[in-house]
């Protein structure tokens, strides 16, 4: 190869490989939404579905079958809330819209905002567990010492695999990142 041709060939290789590098860097970031979409389609990671009221009304009811739903609640360790389900288990017929309630208490002396992350086990059931209303759809704010009862309305899809007899719905409350950062300044030290 002549010098000029070699230079040209080298810069072509460098351009292509640098483009690949940038592309792969972007791909690393693209993995974040890709995983989310993948999990929503497959129901992996216990991500639950969401239905509108119209869709809910159209669901067929299977009165011949009963499924036990268990409720589990957690609060992230650095969040000053108490959080519990008002019923620990409930039996439902697939297709029947059911309402359950959860209670959250802010034990801090300042307002705290948080959001709940749901998870369904076994993960095979996640695709068939649909909610029409949930406090996890938006952030929840509680004033100092406030207690709030929050509803969840859900329908178990009749397509739920026959082998699934018990479904566990778990919620974990996390303090929103922005209030978590401002809280220490807002907080007055608790009287000891």
Binding residues vs another protein (CB under 8 A): 1, 6, 9-10, 13-14, 17-18, 20-29, 31-32, 35, 42, 44-45, 76, 114-115, 117, 123-124, 172, 174-178, 180-181
Pairwise CA distance, residues 5 & 104, whole Å: 72
Q: Which is nearer to another protein, 69 or 112 (CB)?
A: 112
Could you give the 3-state DSSP secondary structure of residue 52?
coil
Pairwise CA distance, residues 183 & 181, whole Å: 6
Q: Is residue 65 within 8 Å of 117, Cβ to Cβ?
A: no
The closest of 112, 118, 157 to 137, measured between CA atoms, is 118
Q: Is residue 54 within 8 Å of 134, Cβ to Cβ?
A: no
CB of 83: closest distance to another protein in angstroms?
14
Pairwise CA distance, residues 118 & 134, whole Å: 10
Q: Which is nearer to another protein, 105 or 117 (CB)?
A: 117
Pairwise CA distance, residues 19 & 182, whole Å: 41
CB of 54: closest distance to another protein in angstroms?
27
CB of 30: closest distance to another protein in angstroms?
9
In this structure, are strands 129-133 and 49-50 parallel, antiparallel, or unpaired?
parallel
CB of 9: closest distance to another protein in angstroms?
4
Q: Which is nearer to another protein, 13 or 149 (CB)?
A: 13
Q: Which is nearer to another protein, 27 or 145 (CB)?
A: 27
CB of 12: closest distance to another protein in angstroms?
9
Q: Which is nearer to another protein, 27 or 53 (CB)?
A: 27
Which token pair is 71? 């409720």
């Amino acid at each position: 190869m002549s010098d000029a041709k070699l230079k040209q060939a080298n810069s072509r290789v460098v351009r292509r490989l640098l483009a690949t590098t940038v592309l792969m860097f972007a791909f690393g970031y693209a993995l974040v939404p890709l995983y989310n979409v993948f999990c929503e389609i497959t129901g992996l990671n216990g991500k639950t579905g969401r239905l509108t009221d119209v869709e809910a009304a159209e669901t067929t009811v299977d009165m011949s079958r009963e499924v036990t739903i268990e409720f589990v609640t957690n609060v992230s360790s650095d969040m000053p809330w108490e959080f519990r389900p008002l019923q620990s288990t409930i039996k439902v017929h697939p297709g029947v819209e059911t309402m359950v309630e959860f209670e959250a208490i802010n034990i801090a002396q300042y307002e705290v905002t948080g959001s709940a992350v749901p998870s369904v086990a076994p993960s095979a059931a996640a695709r068939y567990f649909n909610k029409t209303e949930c406090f996890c759809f938006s952030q929840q704010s509680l004033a100092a010492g406030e207690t709030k009862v929050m509803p969840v309305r859900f329908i178990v899809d009749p397509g739920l695999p026959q082998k699934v007899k018990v479904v566990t719905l778990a919620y974990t409350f996390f303090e929103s990142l922005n209030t978590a950062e401002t809280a220490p300044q807002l907080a007055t030290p608790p009287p000891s």
